[in-house]
């Protein structure tokens, strides 16, 4: 985060509003140092990249294949058919995504033993004015799309991540640990309770026909009293944590200013979980 960007909020992260100027909203986000990355080359298939850069050092190989899913081929027999159907899919890790609410003033939580006690006493109108922790990040998967748009290929999402090498040997059971780690890494807060909102342990399919990737959304409850720890980010991860009201988030949805659909789905699933979803 840029040191030149004053926060002037009770949180260690900016609290932003959409208002009537979406371009101004995204300009304010970029004041904190998150921008489209400069594209230096045309896209290459991984084998082409390896051939052009051969031999790759171990560090280059890890960087090149960090986000590369494996390709699997599976034979099926369709009911009533005699010939096998060969399906091809991407095999990649699931990921966890965290949703919670915070008050406009963090000291409002001081009178409660748990975060959930504060949430349960909120009226629908107060839910609308509660703050959602989000992150603003450039994603290279859409890096050549949306040039010149307000977001310019930078995504607004709930804090998310995939299991690390120590967690993933436990498979889908590690997603809760992943959620706790990612929320602390991205927002600096420890979590008291973590509740999965998707089917069973594996969550929702991201693209059923082409991939076995899933996302498990979690309703998460920070430990009280709130204690913000230093954030940790990966080498390829430059993101800005910020907060916005539920009402302003819905305004982003209405104005079609989100480029990642999963974030919107997770927010609405979480509000349904709270029994406070109102479509007006």
The confidence score (pLDDT) of residue 4 equals: 44
| Counted domains in the chain | 2
265 pLDDT above the threshold of 50: yes
Instruction: Specify if 210 maps to a domain.
Output: yes
Query: What are the b/e assignments for 36-59, b being 16+ CB within 10 Å?
Result: beeeeeeeeeeeeebeeeeeeeee
Residue 224 to residue 13: CA distance in whole angstroms: 18
Average pLDDT over residues 171-194: 95
Output the average pLDDT for the chain.
89
Identify the CA nearest to 104 among candidates 245, 5, 247.
Answer: 245
Return the CATH number at 100: 3.90.79.10
Domain carrying residue 237:
22-39+93-273
Q: What is the pLDDT of residue 104?
A: 96
Whole-number pLDDT of residue 237: 66
Does a cis peptide bond (omega within 30 degrees of 0) precede residue 55?
yes
Both 141 and 214 in one domain: the answer is: yes
Q: Evaluate whether 34 touches 5 at the Cβ level (below 8 Å).
A: no
Residues 69/211, Cβ–Cβ less than 8 Å:
yes
What residues contact residue 127 under an 8 Å CB cut-off, 6+ apart?
101, 246, 271, 274, 276
Q: What distance in Å separates the CA atoms of residue 276 and residue 8, rounded to the nearest whole number?
A: 30
Q: Does pLDDT of 268 surpass 70?
A: yes
Q: Which among 200, 233, 246 has a CA at the least distance from the CA of 102? A: 246
pLDDT band at 20 (very low <50, low <70, confident <90, very high): confident
Query: Does 79 map to a domain?
Result: yes
């Amino acid at each position: 985060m840029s040191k030149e960007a004053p926060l002037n909020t009770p949180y260690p992260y900016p609290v932003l509003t959409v208002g009537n100027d979406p371009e101004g909203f995204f300009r304010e986000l970029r004041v904190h140092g998150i921008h489209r990355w400069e594209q230096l080359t045309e896209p290459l298939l991984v084998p082409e990249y390896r051939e052009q850069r051969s031999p790759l050092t171990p560090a280059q190989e890890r960087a090149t294949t960090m986000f590369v899913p494996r390709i699997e081929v599976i034979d099926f027999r369709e009911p009533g058919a005699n010939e096998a159907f060969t399906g091809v899919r991407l095999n990649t890790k699931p990921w966890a995504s965290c949703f919670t609410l915070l008050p406009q003033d963090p000291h409002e939580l001081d009178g409660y033993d748990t975060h959930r006690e504060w949430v349960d006493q909120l009226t629908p109108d107060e839910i609308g004015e509660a703050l959602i922790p989000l992150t603003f990040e450039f994603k290279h998967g859409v890096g050549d799309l949306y040039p010149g748009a307000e977001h310019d290929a930078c995504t607004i999402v709930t804090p998310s991540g995939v299991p690390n090498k120590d967690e993933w040997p436990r498979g889908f059971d590690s997603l809760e640990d992943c959620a706790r780690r990612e929320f602390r890494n991205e927002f600096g807060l420890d979590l008291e309770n973590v509740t999965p909102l998707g089917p069973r342990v594996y969550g929702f399919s991201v693209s059923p026909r082409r991939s076995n990737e899933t996302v498990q959304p979690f309703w998460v409850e920070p430990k009280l009293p709130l204690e913000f720890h230093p954030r940790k980010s990966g080498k390829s991860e430059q993101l800005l944590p910020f907060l916005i009201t539920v009402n302003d988030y819905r305004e982003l949805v209405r104005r079609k200013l989100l480029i990642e659909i999963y974030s919107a789905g997770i927010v609405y699933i979480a509000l349904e979980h709270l029994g406070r979803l109102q479509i007006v």
